[in-house]
Structure 1
Amino acid sequence: MSYKEQKDFEQIDGWIAEAEAALADTAAQMEQAGSDSVRLQELLQQQSALEAKLEELLDRWTYLNELNERIADQKK
């Protein structure tokens, strides 16, 4: 595992939690926005970007976990 992969592996759970919290916050803001269509549009764009970021993080998490497992298996 490269240095960057190792650092990402150590931090990715926190990044995922942050992205999930940001999505929850955005959903709460959408509920409060009510009929403010301009604000709702901004929040929908924000939500879409956050969902894409979370998906990237989850893909990276899967890759790093599989890589870690392969390395662990090779050491056995």
Structure 2
Amino acid sequence: MADRIISSRTHDAHMTVRDHIADGWVASVCIVPKDAPKSKELIKLDTFFESEDVAWKSAETLARAELNNLK
């Protein structure tokens, strides 16, 4: 599955949701300075969810909140 990116004026939030065979879906959010490559050190969320839709919604909610805090 492809990453999704939400951008603010100064930062990008990279969101990833992937299927974790028996455990459900794993969502990850990484906040980096604008146009910087994705970095594993800045992951804010790495949690299991029961459905893909819930995982994407949670990742997007966290990403938007983190970007708003950086303004």
TM bin (shorter chain): 0.3 to 0.5
**Largest Rg, 1 or 2:** 1
TM-score (norm 2): 0.34
TM-score (norm 1): 0.32
* Higher share in strand: 2
* Higher share in helix: 1
